[in-house]
């Protein structure tokens, strides 16, 4: 078995644990195989790959795209360590407004799948981190949005009080402010 899939407390959000094969030369792992992911409950079709390098203390997020280009994301770390967070923005679910955070790092090789309808963000915990993620819809700047990383309504337990933020992320609205623009349901 190349992967184990662990369901998290937000519906559709899965921790993907790969099998790592190591010997005197180093290590090998698969990072994605469509048939295995489908068997594990991820039937998404990925259409774009992204990569970001960030230094310690950088927080990116919480980002999402509205339908019809809402993005599911498969996030992994190829170097370093992050706290990866998903916030459920699907109003028709009892987990609306709930968040789940998972540490991802290069040693475990674990990945996190976030279905469409979740806001996504991460905080770099190591000196530097390279984060790679596949998305299910291409980037559409006219549909992008986000929620403040420190929204008291979400009460995310970030392990850093003053992260480094982009000016854009510093200006993101609260969940209360963005709530009226949320347009998707679970099936989208």
Q: What is the pLDDT of residues 120-158, one digit of tens each?
A: 999 999 999 999 999 999 999 999 999 999 999 999 999
Cis link prior to 68 (omega < 30° from 0)?
A: yes
Res. 172: pLDDT tops 70: yes
Contact between 98 and 91 under an 8 Å Cβ cutoff? The reply is no
Res. 99: pLDDT tops 60: yes
pLDDT of 183: 73
pLDDT of 1: 77
Q: Which secondary structure element, helix H or strand E, spans residue 39, and what is its range?
A: helix 34-39
| CB-based contacts of 185, cutoff 8 Å, min separation 6 | 90, 91, 92, 117
Catalytic residue among 21, 32, 63, 139: 63
Catalytic residue among 113, 120, 122, 133: 133
Catalytic site residue 63? yes
pLDDT of 186: 56
Res. 184: pLDDT tops 80: no
Structural domains in the chain plus CATH codes: 46-181 (2.60.120.10)
Catalytic site residue 133? yes
Place of tokens 């990116």: 60
């Amino acid at each position: 078995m190349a992967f184990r899939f662990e369901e998290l407390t937000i519906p559709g959000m899965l921790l993907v644990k790969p099998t790592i094969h190591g010997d005197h030369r180093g290590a090998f792992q698969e990072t994605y195989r469509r048939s295995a992911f489908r068997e594990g409950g991820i039937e998404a079709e990925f259409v774009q790959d992204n990569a970001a390098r960030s230094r310690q203390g950088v927080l990116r997020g919480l980002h999402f795209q509205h339908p019809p280009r809402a993005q599911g994301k498969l996030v992994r770390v190829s170097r370093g360590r992050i706290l990866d967070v998903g916030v459920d923005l699907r109003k028709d679910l009892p987990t609306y407004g709930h968040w789940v955070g998972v540490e991802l790092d290069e040693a475990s090789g674990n990945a996190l799948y976030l279905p469409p309808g979740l806001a996504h963000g991460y905080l770099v915990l190591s000196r530097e981190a390279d984060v790679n993620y596949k998305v299910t819809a291409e980037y559409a700047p006219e549909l992008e949005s986000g929620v403040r990383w420190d929204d008291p309504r979400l009460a995310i337990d970030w392990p850093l009080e003053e992260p480094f933020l982009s000016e854009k992320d510093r200006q993101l609205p609260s969940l209360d402010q963005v709530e009226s623009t949320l347009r998707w349901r679970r099936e989208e």
